Chains A and B, each alone.
Chain A
Amino acid sequence: MKVTIKISFVFLVLIITKASAQNRQASYKADSAYYLLDTSKTLASDRIWHTYKEGLVKSYELEIYAPCLQLMNKPTFSYSSRFQQIKIVNEDVLKSIKILSLPKLIYRLKQFSEEDQDTKSTEKHPFYLYIIEPSSKGFSIVKTQLEGSGPKIIVN
């Protein structure tokens, strides 16, 4: 009984905490873009995108190197299947989406990374990349986040 009351109390407190956390999140400024990725049509030796999965997290790593700009150094876009659902769209929908070319994506990332460098860690904002891939039913779209982008907290 005691345990039930304790859990209920924690639950109530945490609902409030969640609501306030979501409100805070909603105020975050974010940058985003769409990109069409089709590794199956590129020779393995020519690919500069590499994908890997760990637990619930799937990552898309872009093999470019910029030691002086942390976010541009092997920029990695990831999502967790816990939070992000893959959507399927057809070709007509795809035509209505403004998709960035790779050079433009890299240029956009460079701009974002330079701004990020000059922003306080608590005020940084996330960069979201909607990655589109061919699928058997059309095209899949998933929202990924540039790893390292976004506001930070400190624990000690």
Chain B
Amino acid sequence: MGKAISITLYSLKLFNGRLVLTNLKENKKTLVSYLNGKPYLPSNKNSIHTNTIKPSAWEEQNCRYYVTCTWVTEENPNCSPTYYSNTDGDDFCYEPDNTVGGCYYYWDLVSSVIDRQCDQVWVPDPPDNTGGGGQGGDSPPSNEQVVHTDSLAAHFPCAVKLILDKLAENGVYADFVQPFTTSQRPDLTWTNANLNWVPNGDSGNIKLGSTEVDKALNTVNRSASITLNTSMLQNSSQLMIAATAIHETLHAYINYQIITGGPTFTTPPDYDPNKPWLYSVDAYAYMFGLPSNFRDHWAMLDEYFDRSVQILKQFDNSAHLDNDYVMAMLYGLNNADGFLSMQGSLNDEYKKIMSRYKISQSQLDAFWNTQLYATSNKLPNDCP
């Protein structure tokens, strides 16, 4: 008589933690996270990821090391080969046995090269807590976005819906945001706060938005946090708010680009005047710590200005004159952040744009006043 098997049932009703589920048929293991008794995809647990489409299964990258080992032995006419190469799933080299070549001799290891192989693996649904089998999850989720907009949406839902979401429909703008839209770092967070603002007229003392990035040189932190001025969201035209959103997004994007790609420029003698201007500025910024505001604004004037204007024009369905988009995008671009030695150069670049579009300073001031203290086309309070 065999011993009676005792089965203990555990309730997962309030279970928090991770369980390893083994698929006995395929002998595969899946690590499943539970919250209050229900399986969840941890990256969706974070409530500030407002735009996340919640998949019930997910894709992840699995990497393994493999080693290629090359062995050699003294030449023996009765045995072959004298070289032997094998690839192991482990990172150690194991000496070939005497079946290789048909006779016994010692092998010497002459090289071992470790490499990493990564595969995108689709992790299927775990069974639910009622004991049922897997469900759904036949294909990876698409269009996952993790730009954090909850904080801004809580106070200005229409800023998210009418400005950020609409800008994201533009392919060029979407390229600027794309690095921040995966579940991995870096992240982009939008919020609002009271920044410098004056009730009437003196638009030069107004700060429409700001972007917080890492301060340290040699940093790897590419995430950014964008703050839009609460007064602007309450008082300004949607056109000006969109222009500010593009401007601040570019700060985040340029910071990301510089850290991720980095310039190939190393020393001044290598300067190549045929490369884009950003090539050299990025190099200087990396090597010598140019103030970010100056660096970014020059890049926005030189490398990204025309694209910014086109994004804004498309956002607005061409409802304004072309020069209006230019004037909206020019706001703040002559700010060198106190980097006086280069303020003149930045001014020159700024004036080149004014000259190209035949825009005077008085036109700029008048346009900004109209847009900043708008009487129409402001954000509505309610956004169904």
Complex Cα distance, B284 from A9, in Å, reads 12
Complex Cα distance, B163 from A121, in Å, reads 28
**A13 in the interface (beta carbon within 8 A):** yes
Instruction: State which residues 279-331 of B face A: CB under 8 Å.
Output: 284, 286-290, 292-293, 296
CB contacts (< 8 Å) of A56 on chain B: these are 259-262
Chain B interface category by residue count:
35 or more
**A100 in the interface (beta carbon within 8 A):** no
- Looking at chain A's contact residues, the main secondary structure is mixed
CB contacts (< 8 Å) of B33 on chain A: these are 65
- Supposing A18-B287, A152-B215 touch, asked if A44 and B62 sit within 8 A by C-beta, the answer is yes
Is there contact, CB below 8 Å, between B63 and A39? yes
Instruction: State which residues 34-68 of A face B: CB under 8 Å.
Output: 39-40, 43-48, 50-52, 54-57, 59, 61, 63, 65, 67
CB contacts (< 8 Å) of A151 on chain B: these are 214-216
The stretch among B219-227, B349-357, B367-375 that forms the contact with chain A is B219-227
Instruction: State which residues 50-94 of B face A: CB under 8 Å.
Output: 60-65, 67, 90-91
**B100 in the interface (beta carbon within 8 A):** no
Is there contact, CB below 8 Å, between B222 and A47? no
A/B pair count, beta carbons within 8 Å: 169
- Looking at chain B's contact residues, the main secondary structure is mixed
Complex Cα distance, B342 from A147, in Å, reads 31
CB distance from A123 to the nearest CB of B (A): 10
Contact of B47 among A51, A67, A80 (CB under 8 A): A67
Residue of A nearest to B121 (CB): A44
Residue of B nearest to A6 (CB): B345
**A7 in the interface (beta carbon within 8 A):** yes
Is there contact, CB below 8 Å, between B185 and A61? yes
Contact of A154 among B47, B212, B260, B342 (CB under 8 A): B212
Is there contact, CB below 8 Å, between A22 and B214? no
Contact of B29 among A3, A13, A45 (CB under 8 A): A45
**B218 in the interface (beta carbon within 8 A):** yes
Complex Cα distance, B63 from A104, in Å, reads 25
Complex Cα distance, B376 from A128, in Å, reads 51
Complex Cα distance, B290 from A148, in Å, reads 21
Instruction: State which residues 96-147 of A face B: CB under 8 Å.
Output: 121-122, 126, 134-136, 144-145, 147
Contact of B220 among A8, A28, A74, A80 (CB under 8 A): A80
Complex Cα distance, B219 from A119, in Å, reads 19
The stretch among B7-15, B38-46, B136-144, B168-176 that forms the contact with chain A is B38-46
CB distance from B230 to the nearest CB of A (A): 14
CB contacts (< 8 Å) of A51 on chain B: these are 61, 63, 118
Is there contact, CB below 8 Å, between A55 and B261? yes
**B113 in the interface (beta carbon within 8 A):** yes
CB contacts (< 8 Å) of A147 on chain B: these are 185-186, 220-223
Contact of B185 among A48, A76, A80 (CB under 8 A): A76
**A21 in the interface (beta carbon within 8 A):** yes
- Supposing A14-B284, A17-B289, A156-B210 touch, asked if A22 and B217 sit within 8 A by C-beta, the answer is yes
- Interface contacts beyond A18-B287, A43-B29, A67-B46: sample of 6 additional A-B pairs, CB < 8 Å, sorted by A: A10-B342, A46-B20, A50-B60, A150-B216, A156-B248, A156-B293
A-B contact pairs, 28 of them (CB 8 A): A8-B268, A11-B288, A18-B287, A18-B289, A39-B63, A44-B62, A44-B121, A45-B20, A52-B184, A55-B262, A57-B259, A67-B48, A76-B184, A76-B185, A80-B218, A82-B286, A135-B114, A136-B114, A145-B219, A147-B220, A152-B213, A153-B215, A154-B212, A155-B292, A155-B293, A156-B207, A156-B208, A156-B293
Chain A to chain B: the 5 pairs with minimum beta-carbon distance, closest first: A14-B288, A45-B29, A55-B260, A21-B289, A40-B65
